[in-house]
Amino acid sequence: MKVYISATLRGFFGRNSFVEVSGDDIKSILNFLTDEYPDSKKVIFNADGGLNSFIRLYVGDEDRSEPDQWYRKLKPDDEVLLLPSIAGGAPSDNLIPDERRKEVGLDDQEVERFGKHLLLREIGVKGQKRIKASRVVVMGAGALGSPVIQYLAAAGVGTIKVVDDNDVSLEDLQSQVIHSARDVKRPRVASARDTVRNTNRNINFESENERINADNIVSMIDGYDLVIDCTGDHRSRYLINDACALLGIPLVFGAIYQYEGRVGIFNLNGGPCLRCLFPEPPEPGLVPTCAEGGTISPLPGIIGSIAANEALKLIIGIGEHLDGRLLTIDSLYLGSRIVKVKKDRKCPICGADPSIFRVEDFDYEEFCHLKTAEDEIPVEGFTPEELARRIEDKDPMTIIDVREPHERSIMRFPDAIVIPIGQLARRKDELDPDKDTVFVCREGKRSILAINTLREAGYNGPMYNLKGGIEAMKDIMFSHEGAWL
């Protein structure tokens, strides 16, 4: 039978989107996969032999991640899906109370502007007034946030708050269609504001050019009807999820990577939250982000449009939606599936006996493995300038490139030895413990994981990380060539 591999895991499975396996239950399939692809063992299993908590395993749309489900017999036509964190039913009611809907009206210009909505029986005047009365927070004005913000504005959402602390860069323009070339180096929220105003000046646009944290997240979203998560890191995703769950605000979740995207709805009417699906995030660098792995330009538009559509259906109170379900779309092979998300009674935020009552009391840096433990040896590193100086001086050292093949084809690192992270432990004998070994990746995160992986494998030679990765070093000039990358 076929086991379908999510895009974020394919690097551990020979870049395959699916693997033909022999086995009649989950346990035999997992054994087959890890025997055939030894590098996958670390990403699939935890130290106790169970699935890592950032991995879910589905047969059809049924979650069979728990070990007591691994010995149930499978049918020959069953489809098995390995789903890592990146990152339904009919609504019983709309999110906008009738009292608030009755407080707003539609003028002649708005009747003309939203005429195509008014023609739809499910929307009509009442539905459009609910849209106008709604207050929505969009977390992130990047690739996913771009279409979400634009479609919410075009639909006439009355108040749109956008939260993002980044500036527009040239590489953003490939997929962040809300920005233009003239916006480069401007705050994303300022660029988004101008685009929204050009679409509909009647919209109340609010912006926060600030990084979210446990101290400000609640005040940013409290009092709003809906939050749409368009961020790109696990720390933000869990922080947003937890704040929404504690405040009782529904959350529309979107995530993209390369050619694959996901959309789901959490925290709606006592439904499951993100922690119910993925109790913990992966270790930094283990599962690549879209910034590291790339994304085809139209994918954020596809996923962002679906997320905006789900948001509008919740606001109006129509149709079926993705509460308790997760939609995954593979734009490369034109495949899609919807899997069920069960509410976890042991969930610390929305379960029967919760342990998280305030986001301020929870350490998201530690939870997302962004802190150095007291007994953990800190990872030392070189700045781009320091490494460049050592290269110029021809200091004896070994440079290991842990990036994906497509990344190296775009931007090479001269004289580097290529060893994927999953192969480091079994190839540690190729390193010289009497020489400094410097690990490089795109942004300096996977290289830290590489060093810790080798430490666990017992390698004791001196190891260093390139701080900021190759991105921070790409403008370094060398005396013997005009540009080195």
Distance from first CA to last CA of the chain, Å, rounded?
A: 44
Instruction: Answer whether 258's CB lies under 8 Å from 234's CB.
Output: no
Which residues does the chain have with pLDDT short of 50? 87-92, 372-375, 478-485
DSSP code of 349? Answer: T
Q: Look up residue 428 and give its amino acid.
A: K
pLDDT at 482: 39
Whether residue 290 lies in the annotated active site:
yes
Which residue has tokens 């003028």? 107
Q: Between vectors from CA 205 to CA 121 and to CA 213, what angle results, nearest 5°?
A: 110
* Predicted structure pTM score: 0.71
Tell me which residue has tokens 């935890």. 46
CA dist., res. 257 & res. 291, Å (int) = 9
- 481 burial level (CB within 10 Å; 0-12, 13-18, 19+): exposed
Res 270: pLDDT: 83
Q: Is 273 a catalytic residue?
A: no
Q: DSSP H helical segments within 368-485, as ranges?
A: 384-392, 405-410, 446-456, 469-473
Q: What is the DSSP string of 223-277?
A: T-SEEEE---SHHHHHHHHHHHHHHT--EEEEEEEBTEEEEEEESSTT---HHHH
* Residue-level pLDDT at 56: 83
- Which residue ranges form the domains of the chain, and what is each CATH number? 2-84 (3.10.20.30), 134-367 (3.40.50.720), 381-473 (3.40.250.10)
Nearest-angstrom CA–CA distance, 74 and 21 = 12
Nearest CA to 383 out of 440, 426, 336, 316 is that of 440
DSSP 124-168: HHHHHHHHHH-EEEEE--STTHHHHHHHHHHHT-SEEEEE--PBP
Give Cβ neighbours of residue 371 (< 8 Å, ≥ 6 apart): 363, 365
Q: Residue 113: enclosing H or E segment and its boundaries?
A: helix 108-113
Q: What is the spatial distance between Cα 218 and Cα 220, in angstroms, rounded to a whole number?
A: 5
Torsion-angle region of residue 14: left (phi > 0), alpha (psi -120 to 50) or beta? left
Beta bridge partners of 326: 264, 339
Distance, CA of 34 to chain centre: 25
The token duo for 367 is 């939870």
Place of tokens 């994303």: 188
Per the document, the length of the chain is 485
Segments in 281-336 forming alpha helices (H): 290-293, 298-316
Look at residue 39 in the predicted model and tell me its pLDDT.
76
Which one from 244, 273, 290, 350 is the annotated catalytic residue? 290
pLDDT digits (tens, 9 = 90+) for 282-328: 766 555 555 555 788 999 999 999 999 999 999 999 998 999 899 99
Helix, strand, coil percentages for the chain (3-state, nearest 5): 35, 20, 45
Side-chain-side CA neighbours of residue 171 (13 Å): 8
d(CA 7, CA 177): 23
- One-letter amino acid of 321: H
pLDDT the model gives residue 480:
43
Do 310 and 322 contact (CB within 8 A), yes or no?
yes
- 347, 350, 368, 441: the catalytic one is 441
